[in-house]
Amino acid sequence: MKNDEFIRGKVPITKEEVRAISLNKLDLKKARTFIDVGAGTGSVSIEAAKTYDNLNVIAIERNDEAIDLINKNVEKFNLSNIKVIQAYAPIEINEKADGIFLGGTGNNLEEIIKWSKGLLIPGGRLVANFILIDNFYDTTNLLKKHNFKNIDVSLLNISKLEKLGGRDYFKPHNPIYIISCEKGEEDEHE
Q: What is the mean pLDDT of residues 153-175?
A: 93
The pLDDT of residue 104 is 80
Say how many domains are in the chain.
1
HSE-CB at 28 with a 13 A cutoff on CA atoms is: 30
Q: What is the CA radius of gyration of the chain?
A: 16
Facing residues of 168 across strands? Answer: 163
Nearby residues of 189 by Cβ (< 8 Å), 6 or more positions away: none
Q: What is the pTM of this model?
A: 0.92
pLDDT in tens, 102-136: 988 778 899 999 999 999 999 999 999 999 999 99
CATH number at residue 167: 3.40.50.150
Which range marks the domain in which residue 40 is found? 3-187
